[in-house]
Amino acid sequence: MPVFLSKIKNPDLDAVLNSAPLGDQKEFQEVVARFSQYDPQFLWLLSYSREDIHKNRTYIEEAYKKFYKILDKGFPKILVQKGNFVSRMWELILCDIFSSLGELAPRGAQGADFVLHTSTGQSVQIEAVAPDESRYVNQRAPRPDYSESNMAEFGGQIHDMERPIVLRTLQAFSDKKEGYLKDQPLIIAINSSKSVGTISDDTYILRRILFGLGNWTMTQGGEWSFEQLPFYNKPGEKPFLVSYFTRPEFSHISGVIYSSQQPLGFIPGGYSWHNSGITFVPNPIATNPVSIDFPFLKKIVCNKTIYQEIEPTKKFESIILPSPAP
């Protein structure tokens, strides 16, 4: 990735490239300590040499050259800074995804991260966000302990397991209420991978936040329905509302794109497309509905009469790197 590295303007990084033997954690940790201003995931990509890592580097290089006019000025320096890698990689992936549906344009003086001009003449604002973990350790999602081959086991209600992810996603969603053009569709694209621990059920998170729906329950008549959960709180806590897509104050948001998967995994052939993938949820009360479909994304359709989860109809084909042969 020579062009991308040259934009960072730190020649000391050249010595890091392919410097750590595979599996050598000690040498890599020394790199992380030496370059503490940079994100460890970026340093990991630089330090190790493996076929899939080389592919990731190539993707970042080629995606930047393709979309640099769409991205923020100084994007390479921003991406590599500590804490920024996931959110900026998510933007690169979104540019790749949306570029097959129309023409991308950079943000204006007001508005979202970038704009998609579709073939139908609609302009759609895209705002990307990747919520961090809570600053409070006891409010973070549980994570496995891999030390000495020890895999911690977790159990319990899905409400408790998913609670940290719901809370961080709610915060990210709520932070994006203002500052957008009111006469154009707006999509909030959320990647929660930084706040995920050992578990994440994307459809549960989306049902919970957007429609106030929890688990399936059986009525006395033997019919299945969702439990209604319009508030999100534990006993004794101050309740706060969910059901965002039933509330008029959020009608300016046309839909949500959501994934709990690591953005690097969406590079062609990556694991993220095969796991939870990416889900699009249109807002049934949107002031400005999106007139395009996303054939390579999962979809949740929900209104007063229906709840439906729809699988993608097409495989996503990147314009940056070709997909590997099946």
Tens of pLDDT, residue by residue over 89-130, are 999 999 999 998 999 998 776 678 999 999 888 999 999 988
Interatomic CA distance for residues 184 and 180, integer angstroms: 8
Burial of 202 (0-12, 13-18, 19+ CB in 10 A): buried
Predicted local distance difference test score (pLDDT) of residue 215: 78
Decide if 48 contacts 307 (C-beta within 8 A). no
Give the SS3 label for residue 201: coil
Residue with tokens 């049902």: 207
Predicted local distance difference test score (pLDDT) of residue 160: 60
20 vs 37 pLDDT, higher one? 37
DSSP state of 236: T
Predicted local distance difference test score (pLDDT) of residue 154: 46
Residue 311 CA neighbour count, 13 Å, CB half: 6
Predicted local distance difference test score (pLDDT) of residue 197: 59
| Domain parsing of the chain, residue ranges | 1-82, 84-310
Q: What is the pLDDT of residues 167-189, one digit of tens each?
A: 777 777 766 667 788 889 999 99
310 pLDDT band, cuts 50/70/90, is: very high
Lowest-pLDDT choice from 63-67, 240-244, 265-269: 240-244
Cα angle vertex 238, ends 173, 137, to 5°? Answer: 65
Indicate the length of the chain as a whole number.
Answer: 326
Decide if 179 contacts 273 (C-beta within 8 A). no
203 vs 198 pLDDT, higher one? 203
Give me 235's structure tokens.
């006993």
Phi/psi of residue 204, nearest 5 degrees? -65, -45
Predicted local distance difference test score (pLDDT) of residue 209: 86
Percentage of the chain exceeding pLDDT 90:
44
